[in-house]
Amino acid sequence: MTDIYRAPDFNFKQEPGESSASLQRAIEGDYSFSAFDTIDETWREIKGKKGMLWVGFLLIFAISMGAGFVTSFTGALLGHAGGFGAVFREVSFQGRIAAGILAVLQNMVQTLITMPVELGFFMYMLKRLAGLPTEIGELFQYFSKTLSFFMTTLLMYLLVALGFLCLILPGIYLLVAYMFANDLVVEKGLSPWDALEASRKAVTHHWWRFLGFNILNTLIAALAMLPLIITVMLAIRQNWGTIALLVFVGGMLTLLALVWALPATTLAKAVLYRKVFGCEGEANAAAETVASPG
């Protein structure tokens, strides 16, 4: 008897060179990992990589800020500056609609500019983990896939939103299941729908472990903010001098923690991706090493 609630199967159209055996193994659930072991491996791998990771973070931040400035300036020229805040400042209904549409377009343009760079950063980290040659210019090599990234993200948001409308739990399931979708577009060269399905099928085999990994990774970032939160709480009802001192100390401690935590939480996803889906370049390099004489 057919289960009407079962997600439909999808047959990937594989052509020579398009997908690897590691992708097929991931889809079939032929892999294993532990959330704690993945985090532990990340802390070992991060040694010697923090500097370049922070260069990547700063580049992405600069590009995001630049894109935000350009879109905000364009909005100001059109008479609607301030992003989504402008929606509440408008008096007329038509003005709010226009401001809302413009704010969505501004965020969309900013995302289209920064997403290829962020995924290029992911590829940079993945190749570093695999021991493959790479350079910081990797961040700028994937703008040709911008439309694919956009379509993948749009489909993902729509499906997750639909899942949340269906009693919330399907939305939570899809939110975790689609965590590698854009990574598969850039690393395996899959189409948006293939990437979504490949991520969903692979993650579903160990969904609870992936949920645990995401929770653990988020907690690491949250713990880095703890010194600032504690000092701000201690500063309540203190004089201005004490407040300034406590917030400064808490801010410095949090900054030191983030120097480790931010690269670690970002690198952890690349570590996990490699465990599940492998790395195409790594497999090809290994094959060439075996094939070469001597």
79 alpha carbon, distance to own chain's centre: 33
Residues 168 and 98 in one domain: no
Question: 157 with 129, same domain?
Answer: no
Confidence (pLDDT) at 73 = 72
Whether 1 shows a pLDDT value over 90: the answer reads: no
Is the model's pLDDT at 186 over the cut of 50?
yes
Residues 52 and 135 in one domain: yes
Same domain, 71 and 94: yes
State the pLDDT at residue 65.
Answer: 83
Q: Three-state DSSP class for 262?
A: helix
Residues 275, 210 contacting (CB under 8 angstroms): no
Q: Tokens 């992911």 — which residue?
A: 122
Is 199 in the same domain as 210? no
The whole-number pLDDT of residue 248 equals 84
**Quick one: average pLDDT of 88-107?**
64
Shared-domain flag, residues 134 and 149: no
Q: pLDDT at residue 283 above 60?
A: no
Average of pLDDT values for 147-174? 91
Determine what percent of the chain is predicted with pLDDT higher than 70: 78
| Tally of domains in the chain | 3
Please check whether residue 291 lies inside any domain of the structure. no
| Rounded alpha-carbon distances, angstroms, from residue 96 to 68, 86, 104, 207, 258 | 20, 8, 12, 41, 38
* pLDDT value at residue 172: 93
- Per-residue pLDDT band for 96 (boundaries 50, 70, 90) equals low
The confidence score (pLDDT) of residue 207 equals 95
Q: Which residues of 186-217 are buried (b: 16+ CB within 10 A; e: fewer)?
A: bbbebbbebbbbbbbbbbebbeebbbebbeeb
pLDDT of residue 86: 54
* Structural domain ending residue among the three candidates 118, 141, 164: 141
* 287 burial via Cβ count (<10 Å: 0-12, 13-18, 19+): exposed
136 in the same domain as 55: yes
pLDDT tens-place string over residues 192-249: 999 999 999 999 999 999 999 999 999 988 888 888 888 888 878 777 888 888 888 8
pTM of the complete model beyond 0.75: yes
Asked whether residue 24 is assigned to any structural domain, the reply reads no
Report yes or no on 15 lying in a domain: no
**Structural domain contains residue 35:** no
Averaged confidence pLDDT in the chain:
80
213 and 196 belong to one structural domain: no
Question: Are residues 213 and 260 located together in one domain of the fold?
Answer: yes
17 in any annotated domain: no
**Confidence at residue 231, expressed as pLDDT on a 0 to 100 scale:** 84
Does residue 57 sit within a domain? yes
Q: Is residue 40 part of a domain?
A: no
164 and 99 in one domain? no
Q: Quick one: 134 and 75 in the same domain?
A: yes
- Give the per-residue pLDDT at 6: 43
Instruction: From 156, 178, 205, give the residue that closes a domain.
Output: 205
Domain coverage including residue 86: 47-141
12 in a domain, yes or no?
A: no
**The predicted structure's pLDDT at residue 8:** 41
Contacts of 156 (CB under 8 A, 6+ apart): 174, 178, 181, 196
131-157 tens-digit pLDDT: 888 877 888 889 899 999 999 999 999
Does residue 18 register a pLDDT over 50?
Answer: no
Mean pLDDT along residues 2-28: 59
Extract the tokens encoding 35. Answer: 């959330």
Mean pLDDT of 74-102: 61
The residue among 157, 172, 205 that closes a domain is 205
Same domain, 212 and 273: yes
Work out the widest C-alpha separation in the chain, in whole angstroms: 76
Among 12-21, 163-172, 179-188, the range scoring the smallest mean pLDDT is 12-21
In terms of average pLDDT, the best of 28-32, 114-118, 174-178, 229-233 is 174-178
